[in-house]
Structure 1
Amino acid sequence: MREDHPHQRRVAKNRYKHERRSARRAERATALIVCEGECTEPYYLRALLALLDISTASAVIVPGQTKADPVAVVTRAKERFTQALEFDKVFVVIDGDQANLDSALHLCNTPIQRANQREGRPEIRIQPIISSPCIEFWLLLHFAYTDQPFGNCADVIRALQVHLPDYRKADPKIFQKVGGEAGLGRAMEHVEQLISARAVGNAAWPSTSLPILVEALRAMRTPSGSNLPPSANL
């Protein structure tokens, strides 16, 4: 068959289109982030996206719903993913002080996309981002290091209010109020310190895996994005 045959040209054209789509996907990684919290986590993360110069089209943040538990959050993430199948990474941001956390983690470990050999798209597993006992522990680390074994979220909030007396949930300026980029840098350093302390003391409380999400977003940022300090090796 001649190379300029119409069928040959169509094959070449389709191959070119596929390669271009694949290249664009590689250049434009996307993430789905489903939160347990209705306001605090979304407000914080949207400000972080702005700092990193990442569009909300590339990183979609889904706020929590009233009385949502970890299992419901993971289920919602699965449903949102299957509606589009356009995300490269899926995260759920949840608190660790809940009874059904193990069930939620089990759901996270189940693939939500089988490998598609034709398009070369890998399986997707949901990455849980957990703060124990709650997201306020991550916010507290923006101000100071602590490995205090908090009994519950109320204890963490009281400790946070020592540094941020006007703290309240659903504050649209929460990222700025915990120090913005500088506060984030301190929090990342404090998590590294906490990991070292846990390794020595074999303690698992309190903890946060927010640096995993921060690193994933940093990898997506445009070349003009802000330079953040290196994160903890979690």
Structure 2
Amino acid sequence: MQTLVAEGYDKVFWIIDMDVIVDQKKQLNTFLEYKANCPANVVVIMNHPCLEYWLLCHFEYCNAPFRKCGEAGKRLEHYLTGYEKSEKFYKRPDNDIYKRLKGELDKARERSKDKEFNPDSPFQGFSQMHKLFDELLPKI
């Protein structure tokens, strides 16, 4: 399956939320093995607990552990009033999230670079989204 995913593409970015994986040792081990055997053109980008942690990096350096995505989402509400994990929130015309976050992208990239997944501390928040932007921004 890995070959089928990567075949025909220069690069594939696989973005995954870890909150549903780290709770179960078997799932985590299966994922880590799968990740280790991905083709060279597949870039695995992990977020724990979820993408909301990456959004949080736009506003603060966060060193808190999170067990579930809702915890990061609640913290994000301090910065994005009315935040909810929904298509409706992201598509609100009066609330262009791109415009709200764009000016903080460099900070978010820097804040996310110093943390990686640590199996000994699986609930530590982190985001590898900087890998996507490090790869794509120079090509724009």
Contact 1:94 1:129 in 2 (8 A): yes
Between Structure 1 and Structure 2, the one with more helix by share is 1
Q: Tell which has more relative contact order, 1 or 2 (C-alpha 8 A, sep 6+).
A: 2
Contact 2:6 2:42 in 1 (8 A): no
- TM-score between both structures, scaled by the size of structure 2: 0.73
User: Using a 3 Å threshold, how does the CA distance of structure 1 residues 111 and 148 change in structure 2: closer, same or farther?
Assistant: closer
State the aligned residue count.
124
The percentage of aligned residue pairs carrying the same residue is 26
Contact 1:108 1:125 in 2 (8 A): no
Separation in structure 2 between the aligned mates of residue 79 and residue 174 of structure 1, nearest angstrom:
34
- TM-score between both structures, scaled by the size of structure 1: 0.46
Report the alpha carbon displacement of residue 81 of structure 1 after superposing the two structures with TM. 3.4
Query: How much is the aligned-residue C-alpha RMSD, in angstroms?
Result: 2.5
Separation in structure 1 between the aligned mates of residue 30 and residue 43 of structure 2, nearest angstrom:
14
Separation in structure 2 between the aligned mates of residue 143 and residue 165 of structure 1, nearest angstrom:
13
Separation in structure 2 between the aligned mates of residue 109 and residue 151 of structure 1, nearest angstrom:
24
Listed as ranges, the matches of 1:129-140 within 5 Å are 129-140=45-56
* 1:211 paired residue among 130, 133, 137: 130
User: Using a 3 Å threshold, how does the CA distance of structure 1 residues 80 and 203 change in structure 2: closer, same or farther?
Assistant: closer
Query: 1:60-116: CA deviations, max 9, x gaps?
Result: xxxxxxxxxxxxxxx5x754433xx1x22111001011242432332233354xxxx
**Larger Rg computed on CA atoms:** 1
Query: 1:32-86: CA deviations, max 9, x gaps?
Result: xxxxxxxxxxxxxxxxxxxxxxxxxxxxxxxxxxxxxxxxxxx5x754433xx1x
Separation in structure 2 between the aligned mates of residue 163 and residue 142 of structure 1, nearest angstrom:
9
